[in-house]
Amino acid sequence: MDLLNSAMNWTHPNYVDLYWNNAAISGLRVLGAPLEELLFASTLGALWSNFYEHRYWQEKI
């Protein structure tokens, strides 16, 4: 995720300013990516294993 955002910032320096509503977010950036984007990605990553386990928790006979 950070590598992709760093690459996007290198190739398109105004990418974040064009596609994120900066007035509605904190304005904090980590490696050029908005903090909210990283929080969303990490939350989804943390919950994904639980969603998968809940879906396939039944043991096959």
The residue ranges of every structural domain in the chain are 2-55
1-42 pLDDT per residue, tens: 566 666 777 787 887 788 888 888 888 888 778 888 889 989
Asked whether the whole model's pTM tops 0.75, one would answer no
User: What's the rounded Cα separation, in Å, for the pair 50 and 35?
Assistant: 24
DSSP strand pairing (33-34 vs 29-30): antiparallel
Please state the separation of Cα 9 from the chain's center in Å: 15
Q: How many residues does the chain have?
A: 61
